[in-house]
């Protein structure tokens, strides 16, 4: 069962770390002309790392013990706090409200599609690394 207090604490700790990292980056690199490229790259990087993490953990065995703790801490916690599709939605809505419909549509589509590609790339990277390890 996933709803143990210790698991919730692990997710909360990871989420605090990921959120702090996202906030530091997005504060250092604010939006330009209403487009938050830092949030775009945060989401893409997070999607890539999540693909690597989950594929790596899945190849090592069932979701239990240390693998579950790593998934909850790093995946749900750190990367869940690091990425932010709510900010993507807010930024996109702001672009539409500013009558920048094409920019808003492009920003949203680019983020979602690039995120999907990044996740696939992360899975492929982890798969390839795992195959090399098995071959060695």
Tell me the pLDDT of the chain (136 aa) as tens digits: 557 888 999 999 999 999 999 999 999 999 998 899 999 999 999 999 999 999 999 999 999 999 999 999 999 999 999 999 898 999 999 999 999 999 999 999 999 999 999 999 999 999 999 888 777 6
CA pair distance 12, 8, nearest whole angstrom: 6
pTM: 0.90
Q: Are 73 and 14 in contact (CB under 8 A)?
A: yes
């Amino acid at each position: 069962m996933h709803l143990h207090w210790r698991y919730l604490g692990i997710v909360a700790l990871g989420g605090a770390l990921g959120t702090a990292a996202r906030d530091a980056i997005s504060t250092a690199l604010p939006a330009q002309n209403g487009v938050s490229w830092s949030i775009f790259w945060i989401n893409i990087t997070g999607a890539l790392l999540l693909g690597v993490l989950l594929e790596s953990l899945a190849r090592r065995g069932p979701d239990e013990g240390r693998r579950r703790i790593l998934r909850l801490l790093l995946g749900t916690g750190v990367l869940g706090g690091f990425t932010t599709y709510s900010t993507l939605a807010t930024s996109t809505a702001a672009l539409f409200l500013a009558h920048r419909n094409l920019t808003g549509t492009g920003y949203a589509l680019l983020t979602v599609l690039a995120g999907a590609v990044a996740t696939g790339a992360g899975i492929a990277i982890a798969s390839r690394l795992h195959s090399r390890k098995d071959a060695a």
